[in-house]
A = this chain, B = another copy of it.
Amino acid sequence: MSRKIAIGKIALLLASLAEEELDYFRPTLKELSFCQGKVGSMNMQKVISAVETAAKRNGIIHESLYRETHALYHAILEAIKGVTRDQPAIGEMSRTVGLRFSVVRGAPYANEAEGEWISVAFYGTIGAPVKGLEHETIGLGINHI
């Protein structure tokens, strides 16, 4: 069961690379369904909401199907754990985040029966709620859908 497309790596590049840096990877992007977005907040609910709204608006997941919402939610949660590297809290812990994110949906496995999977990636900064007192952060979550 060799992997066909690394949807996690693609999600991460979509979240972290500049437009011109992505050129090399354009051919792979054509085989996938994806969206990109930005969110800056001290409120985790807003971060989660931003990704969910983007995924629904761009048709990456089916808005009214709970099984798709459930798959996406857990992928977001896992990506957030990479971002916070501790309990998934920001404002409560006096931190703020400025993140670019992406959601990628596709069939990563050669075996067709493995079906579709979804990946969520974040790249940006986390730090004190003071401009400049921050460092980079990354997170990736993957789930079957």
A: which residues have CB within 8 A of B?
A: 1-2, 6-9, 12, 16, 21, 24-25, 44-45, 48-49, 52, 65-67, 69-71, 73-74, 77-78, 81-82, 85-89, 91-94, 108-109, 113-115, 117, 119, 121, 123, 127-128, 131-144
Contact = CB atoms under 8 A, between A and B. Distances in A.
Given A81-B86, A89-B92, A65 B113 contact: yes
Contact of A140 (B9, B132, B136): B136
B138 A140 contact: yes
A120 to B, nearest CB: 11
Copies of this chain present? 6
B94 A48 contact: yes
B117 A135 contact: yes
Contacts of A115: 67
Contact of A78 (B7, B85, B108): B85
B82 A86 contact: no
14 contacts: A1-B132, A6-B136, A8-B136, A24-B24, A44-B92, A45-B91, A45-B93, A70-B133, A70-B135, A73-B94, A78-B85, A108-B136, A117-B135, A136-B140
Contacts of A81: 81-82, 85-86
